[in-house]
Amino acid sequence: MSGIFAFFKAAPATPSHGPLNEKKFLTLRWRTFLAMTVAYVMFYVCRLSFTVAKSALVDIGISPTELGMIGSALFFCYAIGKLVNGFLADHANVVRFMSLGLLLSAGMNFMMGTTSNALLLTLFWGINGWAQSMGVGPCAVSLARWYGNKERGTFYAIWSTAHNIGEAITYMVIAAVIAAFGWHAGYFTTAMLGGVGIVLILLFMCDSPQSAGYPPIGVIRHETETLSEDRGSVLKNQLWSLRNPALWTLALASAFMYIDRYAVNSWGIFFLQQAKHYSTLEASSIIGVNAIAGIAGTIIAGMLSDRLFPRNRSVMAGIIGLLNTAGFALMVWLPRNYYSDIASMVIFGATIGALTCFLGGLIAVDISSKKAAGAALGTIGIASYAGAGLGEFLTGVIIDRTSVIEAGKTLYNFDTLSLFWIACGLLSAALTFITATIVAHRHAIKRVASTS
């Protein structure tokens, strides 16, 4: 057992190369960043393949409640795993840790393609949820290790577009594979893409600047800790992060945001097929626009936050949350019109991408020590995906309870479900503004302490 822990322990510092060679350092950092980002795209494809297979699974006799059970297994396992693996990632060699997670995730996708048994699908998808939690923590830790406070927002935002790219690949490529060759082939294709990500991680990622002979990023960028000072060991910093009330308010805001995020990601295609009578490819293309719009929205929001709100990004996130809820409302309440549905997904996608970046991790990293980046992200993660899992399950139950059977055909009513989704968006925005108030108060206390 000790040998396993030693294998996954953070890579030790190597002797210094002498004076910092900025060009070589930036080359290594870009190589690490790009490999990590593309690999996380593959993590996301391995997470969302079930979404585009749902209608095919319904056709072979799996009920919406069973679909909700299968989907919630991933979310609950991911929520717990994100907390546990977030804490472990602060201590880990992120290259080895992340590659193991993607290997396990790809394997579970392969297994999903071999059975139509609901209990086995739930088991495999739950294991995949744990494997997925081994991806985001290492990425957050790597971003904290390689990027300073005044540049992290931009690069965190660029990395966050991996969510959107992964969604776009899933909704377009994997959906096309399923439409042409069946849901089994969709899962097998997903597993192969996961293998590509593993190769990229092992070939191009580097654990930390220190492991490559450079000083820590705080030394390179002449920065010190902001809201949370370095308190010694990694464990002490992690435990101190858990005492931050802003972190817990942010976690609750993220939980409600994730309910809406996965309402679209997990049930959006089903909604458009049943409520607005689009075909599978039409519905996938509309939801795919949400993913593409998220790329631009995330990058722009990240860059603006570095320049306008570097000390309190929660203010900007609250405003974005209100816009996001408005876009969602347009999708669920406007009558079928291809162009208005596309427009609503552009608004929703651009804003949900930014919210996933801000509420899902960046703000947590901002208000925590760099040594506790994984723990902070894990705390946000367990709340976010507990919310997503509860939302997934409740959505399936609400759909079942509000549907009726006429002439042997099931008719779905989404009125109650739409109210539930919109209320979650408004609660998330309100909690985000409360987080902003707490962060502003902590900054004020710190300023007073520094001048006294």
Q: Please tell me the predicted confidence (pLDDT) of residue 238.
A: 65
Q: Please tell me the predicted confidence (pLDDT) of residue 422.
A: 96
Say if 450 falls within a structural domain.
Answer: no
- Listed residue (257, 273, 250) closest to 336, CA to CA: 273
Q: Where are the beta strands (DSSP E) in 193-249?
A: none
Say if 8 falls within a structural domain.
Answer: no
Say if 300 falls within a structural domain.
Answer: yes
Q: Please tell me the predicted confidence (pLDDT) of residue 441.
A: 72
Print the domain residue range for 93.
28-445
- Listed residue (308, 305, 423, 445) closest to 361, CA to CA: 305
Token readout for 129 is 């949820």
**What gap in Å lies between CA 167 and CA 311, rounded to an integer?**
30
Cβ neighbours of residue 255 closer than 8 Å, sequence gap 6 or more: 383, 384, 386, 387, 388, 428
pLDDT by residue for the chain (452 residues), tens only, comes to: 566 767 777 777 787 766 778 889 899 999 999 999 999 999 999 998 998 888 788 888 888 788 888 988 887 888 788 778 877 887 789 999 999 999 999 999 999 999 989 999 999 999 999 999 899 888 988 988 888 777 777 888 888 888 778 878 888 899 899 989 999 999 999 999 999 999 999 999 998 888 888 888 878 877 655 444 455 666 676 666 666 788 889 999 999 999 999 888 888 888 898 889 888 778 888 888 887 888 888 888 888 887 777 677 888 899 999 999 999 999 999 999 999 999 999 999 999 988 988 887 788 777 776 666 677 777 887 888 788 878 888 888 898 888 778 777 777 888 899 999 999 999 999 999 998 888 777 666 666 655 65
SS3 411: strand
- Whole-model pTM: value is 0.73
**What gap in Å lies between CA 291 and CA 352, rounded to an integer?**
9
Say if 12 falls within a structural domain.
Answer: no
Q: Please tell me the predicted confidence (pLDDT) of residue 99.
A: 96
**What gap in Å lies between CA 32 and CA 123, rounded to an integer?**
33
The conformation of residue 372, written as its DSSP 8-state character, comes to G
CA distance to 103, 198, 389, per residue, from 39 (Å):
11, 7, 24
Q: What is the largest CA-CA distance in the chain?
A: 79
- Listed residue (175, 86, 69, 156) closest to 120, CA to CA: 69
**What gap in Å lies between CA 317 and CA 322, rounded to an integer?**
9
- Listed residue (356, 260, 367, 264) closest to 317, CA to CA: 356
Q: Which CATH number do you get for residue 275?
A: 1.20.1250.20
Q: Which amino acid makes up residue 356?
A: T
- Listed residue (173, 60, 76) closest to 122, CA to CA: 76
**What gap in Å lies between CA 348 and CA 335, rounded to an integer?**
17
Cβ neighbours of residue 67 closer than 8 Å, sequence gap 6 or more: 54, 57, 58, 396
Sequential DSSP letters for 78-104: HHHHHHHHHHHHTTB-HHHHHHHHHHH
Say if 178 falls within a structural domain.
Answer: yes
Number of domains in the chain: 1
Say if 356 falls within a structural domain.
Answer: yes
The residue count for the chain: 452
Q: Please tell me the predicted confidence (pLDDT) of residue 19.
A: 77
Q: Please tell me the predicted confidence (pLDDT) of residue 227.
A: 45
SS3 15: coil
- Interior angle at CA 325, CA 289 and CA 329, nearest 5: 75
β-bridge partners, 411: 404
Q: Please tell me the predicted confidence (pLDDT) of residue 241.
A: 67
- The answer to whether 185 and 174 have CB atoms below 8 angstroms apart is no
**What gap in Å lies between CA 293 and CA 351, rounded to an integer?**
9
Residue identified by tokens 């959505």 is 395
Say if 13 falls within a structural domain.
Answer: no
- The answer to whether 147 and 373 have CB atoms below 8 angstroms apart is no
Phi, psi (rounded to 5 degrees) for 418 = -65, -40
Cβ neighbours of residue 61 closer than 8 Å, sequence gap 6 or more: 116
Say if 373 falls within a structural domain.
Answer: yes
